[in-house]
Amino acid sequence: MKPEVELLGISIKTFGVCFALGFLACGALVARRLRELGKPVDWAYEITFAALLGGVVGARGYYVIQNYDQVKHDLIGSIFSGSGLVWYGGAIGGAIGVIAWMRWRDMLELRAFDMCATALALGYAIGRIGCQVSGDGDYGIRSSLPWAMGYPHGTLPTPPGVRVQPTPIYETLAMCLLAWLLWKLRDRVRPGVVFALYLVGSGLERFLVEFIRRNKEVLAGLTTPQLESLALLAIGLLWLAVMVRRGGTAALRPTTA
């Protein structure tokens, strides 16, 4: 594990590098899709910035709320600390930022949601590489599987000799596959289907991986991320069910020009 690297005497956080690479990759994907849709490619910079600003504020704010008992004695310092980011908080904050941008640019439409869904899957996959490289505590429970590994030099190190499930690797692989699938489907299904499939796929992925992660159970043997994942999964399935109910499977196919 390598939580940070030294470059010209400057300490650089490896998670931060992957975080930045994730946004660059998302920006490139959005730029290509905007070009396909006949929209200004420069909008990719704007939407990426809106997602970045909203995502960071949401991820940090969610962390502070979730861990209020530990941070309440230094609330201001905790808010502006560089550590502690929660994915679902970032997703909520980023969504607010992007929707605000869509309204500003008069692009609040299903094709834009589909575009963002694919970018979210890709960004999440790259972000988990940062979790793996930095060993920031997102790894799983103890394991004796052949590919289990330790994180003795991580930001949150494992005890010497302890091997755990490398869940960031699982999530990177799963979300890369989902991003690829959504990209392939972008013009093969009706607008809105890609976004619904993202909700289903990302919700299912996080729900399943939580069974071998270290988060605490909060309700009915499930963790907070699992409950949130079930909500996303339900919304995605309901979305698809409504489309099929209104027009059969034909409602999922792209409209003809």
pLDDT at 80: 44
pLDDT at 231: 94
DSSP label at residue 82: S
pLDDT at 170: 97
pLDDT at 257: 45
C-alpha closest to that of 50 among 17, 78, 90:
90
Give bridge partners of residue 12 from the DSSP assignment. 5
| pTM for this predicted structure | 0.86
Contact 224, 218 (CB under 8 A): yes
pLDDT at 244: 87
pLDDT at 187: 92
pLDDT at 198: 96
Where in the chain does DSSP place strands (E)? 4-7, 10-13, 217-219, 222-223
pLDDT at 121: 95
What are the domain boundaries of the chain?
Answer: 4-39+107-252
Average pLDDT across each block of 10 residues of the chain; the chain has 257 residues. List them in order: 76 84 93 95 93 82 68 53 62 88 92 94 93 89 94 90 95 97 94 95 96 89 92 95 81 67
